[in-house]
Amino acid sequence: MRAPCLRRPSRASDGHGLLLATLFACASGCTAGNLQVAPIVLEFSENQQANALWLQNSADHPINAQIRVQQWSQTTASDQLEPSQVLRASPAIVQIPPGQRQLVRIVRPMPMATAPAQYEQAYRVWVDELPEISGPQPAGLQFQLRYSIPVFVLPSGAQTREQIGKVPLDTSSLQASWQVSADTLILDVRNTGNQRVRLSELGWTADNGTTIPLQRGLLGYVLAGQRMQWKLPLATCLPLPGHPLARLNDAPVAQILPPAAR
């Protein structure tokens, strides 16, 4: 039986499940506490062997950090991370002096494949602040920061996001389906294109013309040739029938997610 209404996500929902002390996309670089990381997204063009990641320490004491790279997939309609040697961080552990910044290179040590990749390859660079193990320890609860930086190796002939610009996305490669189960909106999006799609500012547009925001900020990515599912707790009713919409790849306006054929 079809539910008579949808409910808006409650404020307790983060919509993604990867928060904890992890910081995702910021405006031009990630900043929290004394450790700052930039840029927030890395892209490797077809023949590019290395990329630069900058770590900056704004504290009055040294900061130690570890940098790791993991392969990122969505083969189960959820984010899956596995160790990878395709990309490596150099150096992998750093100490940043007070007020200084450190260059970390994300490199491709292996020879590039002779056959062009059909789909964009996705990875995440994890930057973990390491606890200080010497000297007096401050009282109270202490937090170590963790940053998660998306990294994409572009398929042959693809343009970077900076080259494409912020324009409405051709949504022909997207197939969305959604359903309501109890107090949960389940949104499933398949991406048949060869590059990722970033979704933010999720909303709901009813057939009567009403548009209601569902989640502010980043919802997440649907990687190339894969599908992703989100479960959003709902709190208030939304009018039916209607369709979800979102900003895609930071386009200036939200776009309706095209429904999958039934």
Same domain, 136 and 43: yes
The answer to whether residue 147 scores a pLDDT higher than 70 is yes
* Residue bearing the bigger pLDDT, 223 or 131: 223
Tell me the β-bridge partners of 198: 221
Residue 27 falls inside a structural domain: no
Name residue 17's amino acid: G
194 and 235 both lie in a single domain: yes
Asked if residue 26 belongs to a domain, the reply is no
In the prediction, which pLDDT does 109 show?
87
181 occurs within a structural domain: yes
> Mean pLDDT, to the nearest integer, of 58-76?
96
Count of structural domains within the chain: 2
Q: What is the pLDDT of residue 27?
A: 36
Q: What is the separation, in whole angstroms, between the first and last Cα of the chain?
A: 17
10 within a domain of the structure (yes/no): yes
Q: Looking at the structure, tell me whether residues 43 and 151 fall in a common domain.
A: yes
Same domain? 84 vs 197: no
% of the chain exceeding 90 in pLDDT:
61
Q: Select from 90, 121, 156 the last residue of a domain.
A: 156
Residues 45 and 122 in one domain: yes
Answer yes or no: is 222 within a domain: yes
- Same domain? 38 vs 139: yes
Assess whether pLDDT exceeds 90 at residue 228. Answer: yes
Residue where a domain terminates, one of 122, 156, 190: 156
Q: Is 99 within the bounds of a domain?
A: yes
Same domain, 191 and 86: no
Do 181 and 100 share a domain, yes or no?
no
Would you say residue 66 has pLDDT above 70? yes
Which tokens go with 76? Answer: 């189960």
Q: Has residue 113 been placed in a domain?
A: yes
Angle (CA) 50 59 22, round 5°:
60
Rg (CA), the chain: 20
Please give the Cα distance from 243 to 258 (Å, whole number). 8
The CATH number for 49's domain is 2.60.40.10
Structure tokens at 222: 């649907």
Which of 156, 183, 217 is at the close of a domain?
156
For 68, the 3-state DSSP assignment is: strand
**Closest residue by Cα to residue 157 from 107, 118, 198, 111:** 118
Spatial distance between the Cα atoms of 103 and 198, rounded to a whole number of angstroms: 27
Both 124 and 225 in a single domain? no
Range of the domain at 125: 33-156
Mean pLDDT over residues 109-122, rounded? 77
Q: How far apart are CA 212 and CA 207, in angstroms?
A: 12
Do 171 and 148 share a domain, yes or no? no
Please give the share of the chain, as a percent, with pLDDT higher than 70. Answer: 79
Diameter of the chain measured on Cα atoms: 64
Residues 184 and 92 in one domain: no
Average pLDDT, the chain: 84
Does 50 share its domain with 144?
Answer: yes
- CATH assignment at residue 194: 2.60.40
Residue 92 in domain: yes
